Structures are given as structure tokens and as C-alpha cells.
Amino acid sequence: MLRAAAIALVVCGPIYSQAREAGIPAGERAILDEARPRRDFPCKVQITKPTLGFDLRMHVRVQALVRPPPPAQFLRVVTRVVPAGAAAQASHFTDRILVPASEQLRGKQLAAASGFALGEGRYRVDWLLQDQAGRVCSEHWSVEAKLPSRARGVSLLPPGRVQSNSVSPFRREPPAEKPSRGLRVKILVNFASRSVSTAVLEPRNLDPVLSALRALVRDTRIARLAVVGFLLADQRVFHRQPEAGGIDFPGLGRALRSLELGTVDAERLAQEKGQERFLADLLKAEISSADGPDALVIVSPRVWTKGDIPSRSLKQLGPLGYPVFYLKSGPFRLPDSYDAIGRLIGIFKGKEYWLVRPEDIGYSARDVVDRVARSKPASGGQPNRTVVVE
């Protein structure tokens, strides 16, 4: 595990990452091939064990503590990761790390951080840090990536796969074979944080939500999905995907990035309990649609409101005939009475799942689909319209 340094640190992360062996000079490849570490300047290398992140990839973080920092404008990091096996191909990553001005580093220790993501398996890692004078700090080690038992089958990287940390959160999902008469699920997904929608694109808000969507898409029992993307803090629907065999993640990302986040229509802003009314109206419209799904799933960061929920119109819809689920992320365990979405789906006896740890995502998605599958007859025909999930 990484330990906090006893003296002040200036932490620098990579500004550039590349995964091409062609960019690795012969001299650097020779250093990577060495079986012993090098310390041409004082350098302490700290390495974490592979840890599952909310993006459902296992991450290894490497941090080099350097004191005194080298007189350089930047440092170059080269990492080679080789999966176990005679036919395995190596993955190479290069990072360029800017070094702050000398006055900023006076009396401090430079922490040069880099890392990569892995699927399950064993790997050989060769790593070097080089300054502009050609001096090198290098390290070599073996690592095993193993998912927690609760997270089995949820990794978005297959065994033996190596990937850069810097991948698009809205990358395209690989196609999978789907049954012609599988489950049909409608997903309402809120991308706003608890109170500030301008933070929506931060990984801490994006990763749990997008990973929950990917976990549902990858369950082959779901044949068709419809998606409605909304921002509760901004009180608007920004994306609709008709029922399809998967989710258009690149299209979802483009729609989200095209928004002027943090703005609300003046008329809506003037309304009392605007967010609560918007949420109730959205649920009513989607529940009242003519072509009912086999399940309704809401994925969202925890929503905090203290106002009353306008629930009368929703209660008039009566039993839906299909189960409702709420997958909520966020570490803040506020009283359930403050959770707007939880209070609304409570009208339909919906089931809630906390996505507190990364492994909760896979477990929750599997349990949702298990319950939806049990709500349908064994023949695969229309679902039993009297089933209610408790």
C-alpha cells in the first residue's frame, strides 16, 4: 500500500499517455529488460496492489518519491506490462510528467505518479522514470490481479488485458449476443451530482453511474433497453434512446457534453419545489407510456431534497405490473426521508440498492435482472402483471 510521506509532497501526474512500443527507444527497452532496479538519483518507488475502481477496472498505481527533485522541466515514465503466458504480448505506456518550478519544490519531495488498469491474471511489470539528463530510476516486479468474490464477473476488462488509465468513460460497449425473446428494460439515468450539476463530468460522479449501465447491458438476459438521460439539478431531459439491443454510450456522452451545465430555465427556477415536480412529472410520463417494459430501473447519484414530494398523481397510476429498482451511488448516508427518488419509487414498492463500493455494482445489477427474470413466466411470454418486488 502507498504510505503518506513524512514530509511535504508535490504530487505530479502524467499529462500524456501513449501505448505504442514504436515510441520506446532501444536504450529504454534495454533498461526494461534488466532484472535489477536502478537508482541513478534518490528515488523511492511505491506500488499499490490491483484495486477495483468504480469504473469496474482493477488499477495499479505507481508513485516515485524523489528528493531532491531533479533539475528538469519534465520526467518521462515508461511502463511495460506483460501478461503471464508464452504467447502474451507486452503493453507499453509512456507518461510525461511536468516538474514544477524549483521555488515550488524547495524543501519538498516530488511524487511522480502513474498507473494502468488490468484484467484478472498474473503480470510482469517493468517500470522506469528518467530525467532529461538521462538518469534513471527503475523497478521490476510481478503482480496478480484478482477480483473480490462479491465482484466476480463484473470487471470491464477480460483476463490478461492491460489498458491505460486514460480511457473515455463513454467508450463504445462491445456487442454481445442477445436472446430474441429476452427481457425489456427501461432505464432512467440521472447524471447530476447531489446538488451541483457542473460536477457531473467528474469521475467520482460518472464512474458509478456508467458502470451500472454497462453491468446491465452486459447481462445477456436483457434483450432490449430504452434509456432516458436527465439532469435533476438542471430539471431537464437531455437524451432519449429508443429501445435497442444496447446503449449508445458515445451518443450519450456527446449529448451530455453539449449541454451548458448548471443552467436552469428561469420559469422552472421560479417554481416552488421545482426539482421535486420535475422528477414526479418525469416518472409519470415514463410510467404512463403505452408500451410497458418488463422493469423500470433508475440509476442516479443520491438525490437530496427536503421538500414534500408531489406523489398524488403517481399514486393514481395504481400497480404498474412490473418491478421498479433504484441503484443509487454516493457515500452520504443521509436519512431516507431526504432521498427524493427513493420516496417516489416507494409508492410502487420499488427496491433500492446502495452502490457504496465498486463490487456493489455487479451484485446489484445481477440481483435486479434475477428478480426481473423471476417476474416473467417460464414460457418467456408476457410478464406476470401481478408481481411486485418487495
pLDDT of residue 270: 47
Res 38: pLDDT: 95
Among the candidates 111, 136, 164, a domain finishes at 164
CATH number at residue 160: 2.60.40.10
Report yes or no on 233 lying in a domain: yes
CATH, residue 320: 3.40.50.410
- The angle formed by the CA atoms of residues 177, 178 and 180, to the nearest 5 degrees, is 130
- How far is residue 46 CA from its own chain's centroid? 25
CA 53 – CA 59 distance, rounded (Å) = 7
The DSSP secondary structure of 176-213, one letter per residue, reads: ----TT-EEEEEEEE---SS-GGGTTSHHHHHHHHHHH
What's the number of domains the chain is made of?
2
* C-alpha–C-alpha distance, residues 71 and 101, integer Å: 9
Q: Residues with Cβ < 8 Å from 180, sequence gap 6 or more? A: 223
What pLDDT is recorded for position 17? 47
pLDDT band at 311 (very low <50, low <70, confident <90, very high): low
pLDDT of residue 69: 73
The answer on 140 and 216 residing in a single domain is no
Q: Phi first, then psi: what are they for 298, rounded to 5°?
A: -110, 125
114 and 244 belong to one structural domain: no
Residues 230 and 106 in one domain: no
Q: What mean pLDDT is reported for the chain?
A: 81
266 with 190, same domain? yes
Residue 148 in domain: yes
**Would you give the DSSP letter of residue 104?**
H
pLDDT at 2 over 60: no
Alpha-carbon span 254 to 240, nearest angstrom: 12
92 closest CA partner among 74, 79, 107, 76: 79
Q: 158 and 197: one domain? A: no
Q: Residue 283, exposed/middle/buried by CB under 10 A (0-12, 13-18, 19+)?
A: buried
Among the candidates 113, 131, 164, a domain finishes at: 164
Structural domain that includes position 195: 183-374
pLDDT tens readout for residues 333-368: 655 667 778 888 888 888 999 999 999 998 999 999
pTM for this model (two decimals)? 0.81
Q: Say whether both 84 and 216 belong to one domain.
A: no
Task: Find the mean pLDDT for residues 31-44.
Answer: 92
Together in a domain, 282 and 211: yes
Q: Tell me, what's the pLDDT at 200?
A: 62
DSSP state of 344: H
113 plus 64 within the same structural domain? yes
pLDDT band at 273 (very low <50, low <70, confident <90, very high): low
